[in-house]
Amino acid sequence: AQKVTQAQTEISVVEKEDVTLDCVYETRDTTYYLFWYKQPPSGELVFLIRRNSFDEQNEISGRYSWNFQKSTSSFNFTITASQVVDSAVYFCALSEAGFLNAGGTSYGKLTFGQGTILTVHP
């Protein structure tokens, strides 16, 4: 069975600080996909990034960066120079390779971590 663990339940920082959100996963599949979603106070789930198990390249998008390490089964998320608008709950999620056949599909069945509540103070 797959499992996603986010070690930090809550993180509180002051604006302009860098912050890293940890994510560790477990899966038996050799092909899998990792995601980060953001849930701001308004409640919607916003997609941030997707990574497949064969692509260990780190990625940077503006102030956001992600570090994927298969050796430690981790997919950590760093926000550089945090801002108040970054305050939200952040979820790490995993989907396995899945299938698509005449009976349907298991694609899109995400297992989420418990979430990390990030509060950025002015």
Partner 1 sequence: AAGVIQSPRHLIKEKRETATLKCYPIPRHDTVYWYQQGPGQDPQFLISFYEKMQSDKGSIPDRFSAQQFSDYHSELNMSSLELGDSALYFCASSLASPGEKLFFGSGTQLSVL
Chain contacts with partner 1 (rule: CB under 8 A): 31, 33, 35, 37, 42-47, 50, 52, 91, 95, 97-98, 100, 103-115
Q: How far is the CB of 18 from partner 1 (least distance, A)?
A: 25
Please identify, using beta-carbon distances, which residue of 62 and 103 lies nearer to partner 1: 103
Q: Which is nearer to partner 1, 33 or 66 (CB)?
A: 33
User: In which element (H, E) is residue 14 found?
Assistant: strand 10-14
Least Cβ distance, residue 16 to partner 1 (angstroms): 28
**Cα(24)–Cα(37) distance, integer angstroms:** 15
Integer CA distances (angstroms), 60 to 20, 47, 67, 105, 112, in order: 13, 15, 9, 31, 22
Q: What is the largest CA-CA distance in the chain?
A: 53
Shortest distance in whole angstroms from residue 39 CB to partner 1:
9
